[in-house]
């Protein structure tokens, strides 16, 4: 599952905010880099899965995608903090889980339209969670 230098297709928001989060403050952020790496891996698997849905075949990406999405959700939970993820970020966590279920169902059913639509929600929920946590300390009084 190589990326071959292409731009993210299915997770562009998540990749963009994690690039910014991992380099934005001038310091290295290993958590944001891990989320970015998981997002790039999931994006690559999604692109292969999309091609499989269009072609009606079953390559490894089609079976690997659910694991990749779970790994991205887990990396996001670690990045934002499990306490935040289950409390203030509960809405994001729920949106990520619901979109992931929709994606998995679309893959199983071979429904390309549902696949694409669910990915929009998944990408937006993960990216917004990452951004929300990054901004939280800045908006609190000093």
Write down the pLDDT at residue 29: 79
Report the alpha-carbon distance of residue 91 to residue 140 in Å, rounded.
Answer: 21
Q: Residues 22-50: pLDDT tens digits?
A: 776 544 578 899 999 999 999 999 998 99
Q: Which residues of 51-78 are buried (b: 16+ CB within 10 A; e: fewer)?
A: ebbeeeeeeebbebbbebbebbbebbbe
Write down the pLDDT at residue 2: 41
Read off the tokens for 52. 């499989």
Q: Which residues of 86-102 are buried (b: 16+ CB within 10 A; e: fewer)?
A: eeebeebbebbeebbeb
Q: Using a pLDDT cut of 70, give the percent of the chain over it.
A: 85
Position 139 pLDDT exceeds 60: no
Write down the pLDDT at residue 6: 64
Listed by start position, the domains of the chain span 12-131
Read off the tokens for 63. 């079976």
Write down the pLDDT at residue 28: 53
Q: Judge if pTM exceeds 0.75.
A: yes
Q: How far is CA 8 from the centre of its chain?
A: 11
- CA separation (Å) from 97 to 91, 110, 112, 135, 136? 10, 20, 19, 23, 23
Q: Residues 78-130: pLDDT tens digits?
A: 999 999 999 999 999 999 999 999 999 999 888 999 999 999 999 999 999 99
The residue that leads in pLDDT, 57 or 12, is 12
């Amino acid at each position: 599952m190589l990326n071959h230098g292409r731009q993210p297709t299915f997770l562009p928001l998540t990749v963009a905010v994690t690039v910014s989060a991992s380099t934005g403050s001038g310091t290295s952020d290993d958590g944001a880099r891990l989320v970015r790496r998981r997002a790039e891996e999931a994006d690559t698997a999604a692109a292969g899965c999309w091609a499989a849905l269009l072609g009606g075949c079953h390559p490894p990406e089609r079976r690997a995608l659910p694991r990749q999405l779970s790994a991205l959700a887990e990396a996001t939970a670690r990045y934002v903090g499990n306490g935040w993820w289950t409390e203030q970020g509960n809405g994001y966590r729920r949106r990520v889980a619901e979109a992931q279920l929709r994606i998995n169902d679309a893959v199983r059913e071979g429904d390309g339209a549902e696949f694409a639509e669910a990915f929009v929600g998944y990408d937006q929920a993960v990216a917004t969670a990452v951004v929300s946590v990054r901004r939280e300390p800045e908006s609190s009084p000093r």
